[in-house]
Chains A and B, each alone.
Chain A
Amino acid sequence: MVFSYRYLKSYINVKLSLPELVSRLNVIGIESRIVDKETFESEVSANRSDCLSYVGLAREISVLSRAKVISPKVKFKEGEENVKDLVKIFIQDKKDCSRYMARVINNVKVSKSPSWLNEFLELHGVRPVNNIVDVTNFVLLEYGQPLHAFDLSKINGRMVFIRSAKSGENIAAINQQKYDLDDSMLVIADADKPIAIAGVMGGLESEVNANTSSILLESAFFKPEIVHRTSKKLNLKTDSSYRFERQVDWDVVEVALDRAADLIHKLSGGAIARGRVDLKAVKFTPKIVDLRIERLNNILGTGLKTEEVGAILGKLGLVSKSGKNILRVAVPSYRSGDLKREIDLIEEVGRIYGYDEIKETIPNRTPGVSNDEFEWRLERRVKDILVARGMFEVIPYTFCHKDNLTKFSFKENDSRCKVLEISNPISGEQDILKSTVIPGLLEIVKRNSNVKNNNLQIFELGKIFIARERNELPDEKKILAGLITGFNQEKTWVENNRLVDFFDLKGILEDLFANLGVENCEFKASSDCLYHPNKTARIYIGQNEIGILGELHPDIKEKYEFVNPVYLFEIEWQKLLDSIPNGKKFVSLPRFPNVVRDIALMVSKNIEAGKILSLIKENGGSLIESLNVFDLYVGEQIPEGLKSLAVSISYRHQERTLTDDEVESIQQKIKSALIEKFQVKIR
């Protein structure tokens, strides 16, 4: 709420300059900032509705400045007619309206407000209307109590009911809009129909205009929850609803009514009818809260004595009766929304005593073994390894566009179709939570290519969300994903560059797995609708499928208009974690030399190298220490449909030196097996 420093001074004679005042308000917890030389704005938190007015803020300021609050003076004479004869009011919904007060003012002259009032309202962003409505808005800002003025002649039957709306009812409000009402909403109604949405906005038909001569002035206490709910449902937020939903001050309901009646009388003449309507659904008594001094000191970490605490509470206007190390505190109506429990009082003492006064201490910890660090340490390690391999970490949005589902042609039972839709997305293109990391990564490629960054090597450790049943939380899975595209590096004077390919990405993964100690990983040719049918592998650790690696499907590449092929991998993080062995075990160093032999062969193009290596391993048994494909050639000197492959085999026996004959015979065995199974031609 915006406050004028000049106007504030008519409610409290504060000697502080504006910057000093703002600074002190911040120190006691009313977050404020200077707007200009004359004004400041206070962001009053939801629990301090008592500060949403000049009188309220003045009261808070009196706590920190010893100046006294100056309450507006109200003095008027009531007329002859009795309010009871002019209108009949009934609270029918007692749980939603605890107090309803009203006065009637007859023979008013509705006109423009005086300039001081117009200026004041404009300063607070309120549009001046006429000298009746403007007074109600003035008192709202002055006392924090929303009021409403009805044209009494428009109230059918001169009867007012505070009740729930009936379904099917509607109302045209003073903002010229029509609202459909239901029975969850509280309305002010006359004998026929609703005339106001209680606590939110008045009706158009009974609004005070130039022809009005009698007014019904309402001041009430509506239950915060119902005003909040109604305001939200109708999407209608007003200065009134704002204050009701944060709870108004029971006592001020009465004070504000008389203040407004007085002002209306002064500005527009007329006669204030005798008496007030004052319907109470409950009896309000100030709450008594016990405050244990020991508990206060335990929570705050202070050593305050009972008298000191009592003095601080006294500053706040909280009267307390002192017992043995305990205070019985009476909470006045203006703090009844916020100070309900002992802990609330402890906070008040703390903030007025001054958080700065409380000594910093380091807690005495009870030592214990903390939980598993394995996962987050591994996260850091994996990220560091990928960074060491030249990859950039990216953090794309979790949101994604539902249209991607069709763009990617997922089959109906693909789990990636089970997406969670956001009912109030920030934009049309961010209407679901991503069920696959791919669109987020492709978006990054597109964005970067728009600024001519076509060479990318990126990775992400993010989450995907697969919807379960409607009222269940989704499956949240962490996915480690990577993408490379474009040239591997800049062309330099000493090295040429080349486009990256599948094997660059595979190499990074193989190196990653090796570093983590993951063994028996296999890449098996596979397919997926997002990937190229012949350039894709599913990644297995032992029998467990943990992920996929491949070239982006050319159709998708085309849709995105990418220049170069794109290569991706997706790995289920938890599955990767589960396959990392705990700890390393030393293996004794080899004592006997190895023998290295090559086998060069020609074989059909579509026999995978993996199969050839498997067969060699099978036939060589434990004597084979390692294998390496060191040459692969398809081309001019090789007949159609064949490829030339050269494998280097390292043989080693753990207990003795191998003889040439032994090695030769194993080589022969291997060669025969290859010829038999794959019809290779040994070169």
Chain B
Amino acid sequence: MKEKLVELEKLILADIERASTISELDNVRVKYLGRNGELTSILRELGKLPSEERPLIGKLTNDLKVKAQNAIDEKLAVLKEAEKRKGIERESIDVTLDGRRRPLGHLHPLTGVMCEIEDIFLKFGFEIVEGPEVELDYYNFEALNFPKDHPARDMHDTFYITDDIILRTHTSPVQIRVMENRKPPFQVIAPGRVYRCDADISHSPMFHQVEGFMVDKRVTFGDLKGVLSLFAREMFGAKTKVRFRPSYFPFTEPSVEIDIECSLCSGKGCKICKGSGWLEILGAGMIDPEVFRAVRYDSERFSGFAFGMGVERIAMLKFGIDDIRLFFENDMSFLKQF
């Protein structure tokens, strides 16, 4: 019997060693240690042995049982680890496949440009005010020193609702509306939609402007230059060259147009700047005393400057868009780009 146990031990350990899967190992356990397992049977039939052999065989069998269980446990741990490793190995993914996309939408490019312009002036301490898009002739023209029957009005192709009610042709009426209700000092920008009866590749009947104005006791033309040059450099780059050219607007005197050097050709002349080397971005000037008179400000006490810019124009220069109508067609393939 003793020899049988020694043989059995060899077999058990061999079987355990050979088991390559957890289920195979379990079969081994059942074979030897299960209810009908060999070791269990031996222990159960201990009674059939001569009495002097029982204690020894019993002990040896139990020892073997413990040894076997330990070996099984060890092997189980190894197999489990191996399986875990295999599992990890098998678990691979193709990282080049797309993730679960939740694409974000887009702000309209004009909104983006307007916010950029607004942010620059907010940084300078300007406030944002809005005005109505349908306006009285008084606010859009008369109070801004465009007399009736004057060719200056022809500079704007106006949309009329009635003789006195029009679609505003610029954001300048907001100057009057603000000044009628407030006393200086203040600095305000007024972004918004404006309308002119003109339509082609670079003109749209509806477009956007940002107006700005600053009124205080001693505002000078030098201040106008300072603030607007700063704006141009913030907007277009720190090295932007800026040029101030005399111009004419009925509501400012002196009036000026502000150009930046054409970035595409560095001022040499190209199709975009029509050969001049400069791109016009802003109109501005010192607020005309007639305008102050209309809002009952004493032009001896106060002075100010005003400016306006076309948002579409700046967006087209910034992004290289060549057709203004694209902004209002709202084609998704266009909007997606911004």
Contacts and interface: CB of A to CB of B under 8 A. Distances in A.
Interface of A: 26-29, 31, 33-34, 45-48, 224-226, 228-229, 242, 245-246, 298-302, 341, 343-344, 346-347, 350-351, 355-356, 358-366, 368, 370-371, 373, 376, 380, 383-384, 386-399, 420-427, 430, 433, 444, 447-448, 451, 453, 456-459, 463, 465, 470-471, 473-474, 476, 489-490, 492-495
Contacts of A360: 222, 225-226, 229
A470 B115 contact: no
A12 B91 CA distance: 89
A424 B330 contact: no
Contacts of B195: 398
B80 to A, nearest CB: 31
Contact of B330 (A225, A383, A433, A444): A444
Nearest to A352: B246
Contacts of B162: 423, 470-471
B123 interface: no
B336 to A, nearest CB: 8
Nearest to A45: B248
A538 B111 CA distance: 29
Given A392-B105, A422-B160, A228 B150 contact: yes
B206 A399 contact: yes
A394 B335 contact: yes
B298 interface: no
Contact of B107 (A302, A383, A489): A383
Contacts of A373: 127-128
B289 interface: yes
Contact of B218 (A298, A433, A447, A493): A298
Contacts of B161: 420-423
A451 B330 contact: no
B266 to A, nearest CB: 16
Task: Identify the interface centre among B147, B193, B244: most chain A CB within 10 Å of its CB.
Answer: B244
12 contacts: A46-B152, A46-B155, A246-B151, A302-B222, A350-B246, A362-B223, A363-B226, A380-B115, A387-B104, A391-B105, A422-B161, A427-B199
Contact of A493 (B98, B164, B335): B98
B252 to A, nearest CB: 9
A476 B134 contact: yes
Contact of B197 (A355, A426, A494): A426
Given A29-B246, A426-B197, A448 B332 contact: yes
A476 B133 contact: yes
B140 to A, nearest CB: 12
Interface stretch (B5-13, B51-59, B61-69, B253-261): B253-261
B46 interface: no
Q: Give 7 closest A-B pairs by Cβ, nearest first.
A: A29-B246, A301-B222, A301-B220, A45-B248, A347-B254, A351-B246, A363-B223
A285 B252 CA distance: 27
B49 to A, nearest CB: 61
A142 B121 CA distance: 47
A390 B330 contact: no
Contact of B254 (A346, A365, A399): A346
A147 B106 CA distance: 60
B125 interface: yes
Contacts of B135: 473
Contacts of A355: 221, 225, 244-246, 254, 256
Interface in B295-338: 303, 327-333, 335-336
Contacts of B165: 471, 473
B206 A456 contact: no
A321 B225 CA distance: 31
Given A46-B152, A420-B161, A422-B161, 5 more contacts: A246-B151, A343-B253, A361-B223, A387-B105, A396-B328
B245 A26 contact: yes
Nearest to A376: B128
Interface string B235-269: 00000000111111000011111000000000000
Contacts of A370: 125, 127
B89 interface: no
Interface of B: 97-98, 100-108, 110-111, 115, 118, 125, 127-129, 132-136, 147-152, 154-155, 159-162, 164-165, 167, 185-187, 193, 195, 197-199, 205-206, 214, 216-223, 225-227, 229-230, 243-248, 253-257, 274-276, 286, 288-289, 303, 327-333, 335-336
A422 B127 CA distance: 32
B255 A341 contact: no
A569 to B, nearest CB: 15
Given A46-B150, A228-B149, A447 B226 contact: no
A492 B150 contact: no
B199 to A, nearest CB: 5
Contact of B216 (A363, A453, A459): A363
B303 A358 contact: no
Contact of B150 (A225, A359, A362): A225
A380 B107 CA distance: 10
A127 to B, nearest CB: 24
A315 to B, nearest CB: 14
Given A45-B247, A398-B195, A430-B205, A453 B150 contact: no
Nearest to A426: B205
A28 B222 CA distance: 17
B133 A463 contact: yes
A465 B223 contact: no
Contacts of B335: 392-394
Contacts of B205: 397, 399, 426, 430
Contacts of A391: 105
Contact of B303 (A31, A242, A299): A299
Contacts of B136: 473
Contacts of A430: 205
B331 A453 contact: yes
Contacts of A465: 133-134
Nearest to B165: A473
Contacts of B230: 362
B117 to A, nearest CB: 13
A492 B101 contact: yes
Contact of A395 (B155, B197, B245, B327): B327
A368 B244 contact: no
B223 to A, nearest CB: 4
B214 A363 contact: yes
B129 A371 contact: yes
Contact of A368 (B150, B185, B330): B185
A458 B330 contact: yes
A229 to B, nearest CB: 5
Nearest to A368: B185
B227 A362 contact: yes
B331 A451 contact: yes
A394 B135 CA distance: 24
A245 B153 CA distance: 12
Contact of A387 (B100, B107, B226, B328): B107
Contacts of A444: 330
Given A46-B152, A301-B223, A433 B328 contact: no
Contacts of B227: 362-363
A361 B331 contact: no
Given A355-B225, A360-B226, A388-B104, A473 B125 contact: no
Contacts of A45: 247-248
Contact of A389 (B105, B257, B274): B105
Task: Identify the interface centre among B159, B246, B257, B303: most chain A CB within 10 Å of its CB.
Answer: B246
A493 B107 contact: no
Nearest to A230: B149
A338 to B, nearest CB: 9
A222 to B, nearest CB: 13
B247 A394 contact: no
A476 B132 contact: yes
Contact of B164 (A298, A376, A457, A471): A471
A391 B106 CA distance: 7
A378 B242 CA distance: 34
